[in-house]
Amino acid sequence: MSLLIKFISDENIPAKLTELLKEKDFDIKKISLGATDKEISKISKEESRIILTFDRHFINRRLFNPKEYPRIIFIQIHPPLIDIIFSSLTKLFSVVENFKGKLFILSEQGFRIKE
């Protein structure tokens, strides 16, 4: 399953999480420091990558309508403990089959879906 899931990791995603996802064979592209939200969203569209972010701008549906993007996962886990985030992502992937055009808000308690 992991080989089919492609991410684009916003600059605010901890490097340890990016490394863990790579170790588990997820295709993850780490965005360079200073990249704009517009650049991230463009790559997401062009390469069909899930945007993985802590950036609240991506939950503003007027700026980033989920229907226009492959998918967005906003991580609302603070402090950003890697094991908890990874566990929450794993649960999300085991439950959801269709990610396209949806915004997922990930928390320690689970996730919410906004369309």
Neighbours of 16 (CB within 10 A): 13
Percent of the chain predicted with pLDDT > 90: 65
Instruction: Tell me if 69 sits within 8 A of 45, measured CB to CB.
Output: yes
Supply angle C-alpha 94, 60, 65, rounded to 5: 70
Which tens digits make up the pLDDT trace of 32-68?
889 999 999 999 999 999 999 999 999 998 888 888 8
Residue 75 forms beta bridges with which residues?
Answer: 106
Mean of pLDDT over the chain = 90
